Amino acid sequence: MAEIIFDDSGCPSGQSTPQDIARQEAGSTVAAQDLTPYVQTRANGDHSIDLMISGAHCAGCMAKIERETAALPGMKGARMNLSTMRLNVQWKGKDTTASSIVARLEELGYGAKAFDMELEPLENKKELNGLLKAMAVAGFATVNIMLFSVAVWAGADMGENTHNYMHWASAAIALPAVAYAGRPFFRSAWSALKNKTTNMDVPISLAVLLACTLSMYETIHGNPDTYFDAAVMLLFLLLIGRYLDARLRLKTGESAQRLAAMQASTASLISESGDIVSVQASMIKPGDKLLIAAGERVPVDVEIISGTSEIDTSIATGEALPVTSGPGGKLYSGMINLGAPLTARALSISSDSFLSEISQLVEAGEQKKGKFVRIADRAARAYVPVVHTLAALTFIGWLLVGGELRTASLNAIAVLIITCPCALGLAVPAVQIVASGRLFKKGVLIKSGDALERLSKVDTVVFDKTGTLTLGRMQLTNTKDISPKNLEAAAMLARSSRHPIARAVAVAAGNGPMATNIKEISAKGLSTIIDNKPIKFGSADFLGIKNAKNSQTESWLQIGKAKPVRFAFKDTPRIDAKDTVANLLTSGYGVELLTGDKRAMASETADALGIENWQAEVSPKDKLARLETLASEGRFTLMIGDGINDAPALASAYASASPAGAADVSRAAADIILQGDKLSGLTTAVSVAKQAQRRVVENLSLAVIYNMIAVPLAIFGFVNPLFAALAMSGSSIIVTLNALRLNR
Amino acid sequence: MTSLLWLMPIAIFLGLVGLISFFWSVRSGQYEDPEGNAARILFSEDKPIIDEEDE
């Protein structure tokens, strides 16, 4: 048999943009991760590890990854899941082999990070599989009972025995099927009743159970009509909605965890005996002593014990330029140590005022958000009492006009079944899964269904600057004023350093050789001797220059005694930041900029992007206050930010978004996450959310119209089993089709 | 009409066979990776989805 060989020539991963390359450059400043804490050892001595793969797009990538990993020495097997982007590898031998697997994957051009198995949402997965099975059972029962029912409806000349036989056969299928497939509803209804509240599942359970009981009674007494088909069909249609809803939640949850896993880190713990051990960042306890090497991300919040170094603090403060920090200084997780190694002690949240204030503010914001009620639930709250009252009134009414007990209960159950919210249960999840699927393809991750609903109301967009509108990275801006020879000379020095300005020069010059014997003076500059000429690259006062314009955003290069050359740097906006802001403004949204960075830098960015309302040097509390002012003016705000200082604002804004590279706490507080280096997903997200909300409202209106027609018929006893079945499936199909229109 | 007496159980039995196979497919992990599996059918070598040692 011929084997089909996939190659990745047509794979989009081959095309990397300059920004991708820049990101890889920036990423390489962070030191390699030790993987041994993530390796699992089996009883028979085999090891295994789960890795999150990035950069794989197609089946060709999957085949290549599996083939190449399995070819490494000692491997027992490698299996990749293309849907969740996880690779499971098993091998014999030492646990340190893990890093060689990652190295091999990186050679092939894929990113690989250890995945913490504890993060896996096992419970949700079980629930989803349970719903899938329940749906299958209900579907099986619906189809079979429907066959018998059609025979009963059509067979007017059917003998009485055949008739009864059909009903008994239906009962034999329906009762076990309802007992199995109805459990999710019964359980939820029961727990609601126990807490003395009601939810949508109460009338559903009631309708299904009563319909079965009554049909059983009719079957035993040989009467002509049974409602087994309606009961199981109701469960089947509702289970489709439940399944879609659960799948959306699992998928969004998994993607959020995938992001977290990609940033999961290890830390170097200094044990009491002075040994350095590598552990998972999640295992560090407050008080532990840690070594933070140059170039490493700070794994947890710490206080420096010894050492002084330059720190990239943009994730906490929004400032684009590094800050020097020494003993007693506090560092927050996600900051990057740019200079010398530091010894530090892990802090607990409560021991640090900044962090505890942030977490209190975030909590307060989330509580407020917790009160948000989804439109389906709001409808359900209004709906449930009406359904119960109508059914009860029908029952009493028929008794009053002298109907039999049997007729009265038949009609009351018909009301319960006909009003059952198939449209409510199916239409909203269907719309949301279509909308989130569409946004997924655009690189926008929706964290929950109510995020979409909140997003649809937004009228004011508030941006953070560093890391959100800008990339949070310095870039060389005056390349054309610098001769290639000078740029290369500066780059030979800069390639040795992790300082953001040095990185910017190295990126601008591309790959090349590095000078030898480079001396780096923290916060000043670099110097060495090339071809017997001293070369210096650094700040103005490092070179002894007096007429510097702005010491923070420029550096100077001097070769020998020649005239110093000026290098200017800027934290440039993302490529599509200007278009995104312009789009939002023309669509009538209010746009504001709130940043913790200095005034001069904020005004420059605001001018470049055409944002009129901006505030600089704002504290996390000020951001919050501004959002509250906007809210009190009746505006619905969408906050977009990435730093720790944005987290309270993200939590308390009406809706919020974060770029994928944001701090953990911000990503957790945001409703949507924008993947990749682009902001344009934001406009798509808002417009898709608006369309989705329109569909939801349409679907709910359809449901109301349907009920207005069907309920009176049910109350007055015109609903036979055939009508109930047709009405129910018809309305469900209509709302699903309406939801699918969103996909175009 | 007596034929119904045995035709209907047969029909239900066949339906049950389908249902049980579906349960088996869920349990054996065939819904874990729809994208990967769609492509995997084209590779000549294939291995079980769930490692036997785990079961």
Is B48 in the A-facing interface, judged by CB distances under 8 Å?
Answer: no
Domain boundary among A90, A120, A150: A120
Residue A363: inside a domain: no
Indicate the pLDDT class of residue A13, thresholds 50, 70 and 90: very low
Q: Is the pLDDT of residue A17 over 80?
A: no
DSSP-derived pairing of the beta strands A470-476 and A565-573: antiparallel
Alpha-carbon torsion (A366, A372, A376, A380), positive or negative: positive
| Minimal Cβ distance to B26: which of A3, A133, A143 | A133
Alpha helices in A575-646 (DSSP H): 577-586, 599-609, 620-632
Q: Which helix (H) or strand (E) holds B55?
A: none
C-alpha–C-alpha distance, residues A193 and A388, integer Å? 14
Same domain flag for A525 and A546: yes
Indicate the pLDDT class of residue A4, thresholds 50, 70 and 90: very low
Report CB contact under 8 Å: B5, A165. yes
Same domain flag for A243 and A135: yes
Same domain flag for A307 and A454: no
pLDDT in tens, B30-51: 888 877 888 887 776 655 555 5
Of all residues in chain A, the one with the smallest CA distance to B47 is A79
Q: What is the dihedral of CA A684, A659, A120, A91, to 10 degrees?
A: 110
pLDDT in tens, A560-602: 888 888 888 887 788 888 899 999 999 889 999 998 888 888 8
Residue A307: inside a domain: yes
Which of these, A263, A264, A258, lies nearest to A56 by C-alpha position?
Answer: A258
Same domain flag for A141 and A179: yes
Residues of A identified as active-site: 464
C-alpha–C-alpha distance, residues A311 and A555, integer Å? 18
Q: How high is the pLDDT of residue A350? A: 65
Residue A505: inside a domain: yes
Mean pLDDT of A4-24: 42
Report CB contact under 8 Å: B19, A140. yes
Looking at per-residue confidence, does A532 or A146 come out higher? A146
Of all residues in chain B, the one with the smallest CA distance to A162 is B1
What is chain A's length? 744
Residues 6+ apart with CB under 8 A from A153: A721, A722
Residue A405: inside a domain: yes
Q: Is the pLDDT of residue A3 over 60?
A: no
Q: How high is the pLDDT of residue B1? A: 63
Residues of B in contact with A136 (CB under 8 A): 19, 22-23, 26
Which of these, A658, A647, A672, A664, lies nearest to A365 by C-alpha position?
Answer: A647
Residues of B in contact with A146 (CB under 8 A): none
Domain of residue A323 covers: 266-356
Q: How far is CA A404 from CA A219, A503, A685, in A?
A: 18, 87, 56
Residue A259: inside a domain: no
Residues 25 to 54 of A: which have CB under 8 A from any B CB?
A: 42, 44
Mean pLDDT of A516-523: 77
ipTM score for this prediction: 0.78
Q: Is the pLDDT of residue A744 over 70?
A: no
Q: Are A228 and A215 in contact (CB under 8 A)?
A: yes
Indicate the pLDDT class of residue A140, thresholds 50, 70 and 90: very high
Cβ atoms within 10 Å of A353's Cβ, excluding its own? 9
Q: Are A338 and A295 in contact (CB under 8 A)?
A: yes
C-alpha–C-alpha distance, residues B35 and A81, integer Å? 8
Same domain flag for A583 and A606: yes
Indicate the pLDDT class of residue A118, thresholds 50, 70 and 90: low
Same domain flag for A244 and A389: yes
Residues of A in contact with B28 (CB under 8 A): none
Alpha helices in A77-200 (DSSP H): 97-108, 122-154, 160-181, 183-194
Q: Are A410 and A650 in contact (CB under 8 A)?
A: no
Indicate the pLDDT class of residue A262, thresholds 50, 70 and 90: low
Same domain flag for A205 and A108: no
Alpha-carbon torsion (B35, B41, B43, B46), positive or negative: positive
Residue A362: inside a domain: no
Indicate the pLDDT class of residue A31, thresholds 50, 70 and 90: very low
pLDDT in tens, A102-116: 888 888 888 787 776
Question: Domain total for chain A?
Answer: 5
pLDDT in tens, A442-498: 888 887 778 888 899 899 999 988 888 888 777 888 888 888 888 888 888 888 877
Residue A370: inside a domain: no
For testing contact with chain A, the best of B53, B54, B55 (most A CBs within 10 A): B53
Measured in whole angstroms, the distance separating CA A569 from the mean position of its chain's CA atoms is 33
Indicate the pLDDT class of residue A178, thresholds 50, 70 and 90: very high
Mean pLDDT of A36-58: 81
Report CB contact under 8 Å: B32, A77. no
C-alpha–C-alpha distance, residues A742 and A446, integer Å? 16
Distance from CA of A346 to the nearest CA of B (A): 38
Q: How high is the pLDDT of residue A134? A: 94
Q: Are A35 and A99 in contact (CB under 8 A)?
A: yes
C-alpha–C-alpha distance, residues A245 and A425, integer Å? 9
Q: How high is the pLDDT of residue A216? A: 93
Indicate the pLDDT class of residue A30, thresholds 50, 70 and 90: very low
3-class secondary structure, A240: helix
- CATH code of the domain containing A333: 2.70.150.10
pLDDT in tens, A62-105: 888 888 888 888 888 888 888 778 888 888 877 777 888 888 88
Q: Is the pLDDT of residue A732 over 60?
A: yes
Distance from CA of B11 to the nearest CA of A (A): 9
Residue A371: inside a domain: no
Same domain flag for A129 and A200: yes
Which of these, B45, B16, B6, B23, lies nearest to A79 by C-alpha position?
Answer: B45
Cβ atoms within 10 Å of A532's Cβ, excluding its own? 6
Q: Is the pLDDT of residue A200 over 70?
A: yes
C-alpha–C-alpha distance, residues A347 and A302, integer Å? 5
Same domain flag for A460 and A588: yes
Report CB contact under 8 Å: B47, A137. no
Distance from CA of A93 to the nearest CA of B (A): 18
Cβ atoms within 10 Å of A545's Cβ, excluding its own? 15
Residues 148 to 177 of A: which have CB under 8 A from any B CB?
A: 148, 159, 162, 165, 169, 173
Q: Is the pLDDT of residue A664 over 90?
A: no
Residues 13 to 42 of B: which have CB under 8 A from any A CB?
A: 15-16, 18-19, 22-23, 26, 31-36, 38-40, 42
Report CB contact under 8 Å: B36, A80. yes
The token pair that represents A680 in the structure block: 């344009």
C-alpha–C-alpha distance, residues A615 and A617, integer Å? 7
Same domain flag for A151 and A246: yes
Domain boundary among A532, A547, A571: A571
Same domain flag for A456 and A560: no
- CATH code of the domain containing A636: 3.40.50.1000
C-alpha–C-alpha distance, residues A369 and A67, integer Å? 47
Report CB contact under 8 Å: A90, B51. yes
| Minimal Cβ distance to B42: which of A4, A132, A140 | A4
The token pair that represents B40 in the structure block: 């995997």
C-alpha–C-alpha distance, residues A92 and A48, integer Å? 9
Alpha-carbon torsion (B17, B20, B22, B27), positive or negative: negative
Residues of B in contact with A129 (CB under 8 A): 26, 31
Q: How high is the pLDDT of residue A591? A: 92
Residues of A in contact with B47 (CB under 8 A): 77, 79
Is A77 in the B-facing interface, judged by CB distances under 8 Å?
Answer: yes
Percent of chain B with pLDDT over 90: 20
Q: Are B5 and B26 in contact (CB under 8 A)?
A: no
Q: Count interface pairs A-B at CB distance under 8 A.
A: 72
Domain boundary among A75, A94, A120: A120
Same domain flag for A132 and A222: yes
Based on the number of CB atoms within 10 Å of its own CB, is A44 exposed (0-12), middle (13-18) or buried (19 or more)? exposed
Q: Is the pLDDT of residue B55 over 50?
A: no
Mean pLDDT of A241-257: 78
Q: Is the pLDDT of residue A317 over 80?
A: no
Q: How high is the pLDDT of residue A461? A: 92
Residues 6+ apart with CB under 8 A from A370: none
Indicate the pLDDT class of residue B54, thresholds 50, 70 and 90: very low
Q: What is the mean pLDDT of chain A?
A: 81
Mean pLDDT of A171-188: 93
Residue given tokens 């009609």 in the structure block: A411
Percent of chain A with pLDDT over 70: 90
Report CB contact under 8 Å: B16, A169. no
DSSP-derived pairing of the beta strands A655-659 and A672-674: parallel
Amino acid at A595: T
Report CB contact under 8 Å: B8, A169. yes
Q: Is the pLDDT of residue A708 over 90?
A: no
Residues of B in contact with A82 (CB under 8 A): 33, 35-36, 39
Report CB contact under 8 Å: B32, A1. no
DSSP string, A363-384: HHHHHHHHT---HHHHHHHHHH
Residues of A in contact with B16 (CB under 8 A): 140
